[in-house]
A and B are shown apart, each in its own frame.
Chain A
């Protein structure tokens, strides 16, 4: 008797092929990131090795790359611009996103909860240029009117815009962190007479702490990397801000606005790439930190051993 062809022999080949394909997919992500880093490093290398002055770059607020006599490349004002806008954005977005995540994750039920989740995800999909437009055409006159200042394109404007922009994605991640807290914790605490808020505050938030920190860090990363909205709402003037009503210029916006006007390979061109390297390193570090926090949260409260299988017992 001959054996009929076993479908599983074919499946074995498919399995091998698919493993190679997904491995290639996974590796390509790493290759692309490494490639991007190599590219910006190569473009900025000339500047970094020949012209780079550590003290000037980090401590001088004078960014005058187009000066004919004495071009200077002090990035302090740009770093301060990005940092101040991101900082204010976090002040705006952390309470909003945390509150929204707690409401969606712990208090809302059924249809309200599902609707809110969809809405929050939709908000995350608004293009940044639209946010910039809102900053330019709504926030700008509003700030001029309310605070009686001459210009409404400043740290306050772009901080609020960026905060609102980062809030939805932070909400989604924070809500995921809350959802990762086992329901057993909530039931156990609630069974002993703790109110919903007590359960949230004493049990759920501490248990989700790492995920919440990660959400905030990703928001910070978003703020650091955001270009268009900040370019439109910040006023785009090189300035060390001393109040929220000062116009500033962000690192990202500088690159976006100036790169097109520089000669490839010039000092200016390479200096912009150096800003890019700096941005890359900072956002990479922030994302890495967020990842470490998420992993920490996952490992901390789970025992490594297996639990006996639970019998369904309604």
Chain B
């Protein structure tokens, strides 16, 4: 996709992780993660709390730079290029959209929330921004609800609306990778289903990594799913197989069947 990145050996692989380990203040939080996230697909990550799911996402877009005490070892290649080879980490982050567990409507108008990324990029033309804002809000299934009040504060929307606003904002970056971290935690079930529909449409255009605490959500959306447990990657399996009882590890089967977690 990008001309700047060196040609990738395996163009079907969006994120290639080899022997990733993450420490916080010297304490191991995640280790031995080796996996490949296929391009243009939804990749699920499940596991109970404290299993290292979020740490994994943070390593992908180099959030370790802004987290005191976080150390990353091993290699994470995004679209063929090691994330630590970017001297300017912001250039890497521009290609990766992130949706956090709690919706973050930035303290500006709805319009400005979605236009921010384009403005940071240098787009000044109001007409261009209008087009981008409308397109992203439509794709995040929020347009109809907010089209008449684009000038009201984004932080005053309801939780579910703010989360869709966050998704619209992430889409406005035109990312090739979208990382979602338990996006449905603060969202009602109806809105969750709407966002899930949006995600299944988006996967033709971008790679989506879906970290979720709802195993059924992974089942509905992801083609492959990774199971993390207490800082370890237990396995990566085709999602259907995992839920049909064909998981490689008995702990995975126990987790997806709701026996613990």
Chain A contacts to B: CB under 8 angstroms: 109-110, 181-182, 184-185, 187-195, 198, 202-203, 206-207, 300-303, 305, 307-308, 310-314
Contacts and interface: CB of A to CB of B under 8 A. Distances in A.
Interface residues of B, number: 46
B90 A300 contact: no
Interface of B: 24, 29, 49-50, 52-55, 61, 63, 66, 68, 90-98, 100-102, 104, 106-108, 116-117, 119-120, 153, 155-156, 158-159, 166, 169-170, 173, 181-182, 185-186, 213
Contacts of A311: 49, 101, 182, 185, 213
A207 B120 contact: no
B190 to A, nearest CB: 15
Given A202-B116, A313-B101, A314-B29, A191 B61 contact: yes
Nearest to B88: A195
Contacts of A314: 24, 29, 50, 52, 54-55
Interface of A is mostly: loop
Contacts of A207: 106-107
A194 B101 CA distance: 20
A207 B105 CA distance: 12
Given A188-B166, A191-B93, A313 B116 contact: no
Contact of A300 (B68, B95, B107): B107
B107 A310 contact: no
19 contacts: A185-B106, A187-B63, A188-B100, A191-B61, A192-B98, A192-B117, A192-B120, A192-B169, A192-B170, A193-B90, A193-B95, A194-B90, A206-B107, A311-B101, A311-B185, A313-B50, A313-B54, A314-B24, A314-B54
A193 to B, nearest CB: 3
Nearest to B53: A313
Given A184-B100, A301-B153, A301-B155, A192 B107 contact: no
Contacts of B116: 189, 192, 194, 202
B153 A300 contact: yes
B49 A110 contact: no
B120 A193 contact: yes
A191 B179 CA distance: 10
A312 B181 CA distance: 12
B106 A203 contact: yes
B156 A303 contact: yes
Contacts of A184: 100, 102, 104
Contacts of B66: 187, 190
Given A203-B108, A301-B107, A314-B29, 4 more contacts: A192-B117, A192-B120, A310-B185, A313-B54
Given A193-B173, A206-B108, A307 B54 contact: no
A307 B186 contact: yes
B185 A198 contact: no
A192 B93 contact: yes
B91 to A, nearest CB: 7
A306 to B, nearest CB: 10
A87 to B, nearest CB: 31
Contacts of B170: 192
A291 to B, nearest CB: 21
Nearest to B92: A193
B98, B106, B185: which has the most chain A beta carbons within 10 Å?
Answer: B106
B32 to A, nearest CB: 17
Contacts of A301: 107, 153, 155
Nearest to B175: A192
Nearest to A310: B102
A311 B48 CA distance: 11
B101 A189 contact: no
A185 B103 CA distance: 10
Contacts of B213: 311, 313
Contacts of B155: 301-303
B53 A194 contact: no
B94 A310 contact: no
Contact of A313 (B24, B49, B61): B49
Contact of A308 (B50, B61, B169, B185): B185
Nearest to B155: A301
Nearest to B61: A191
B63 A191 contact: yes
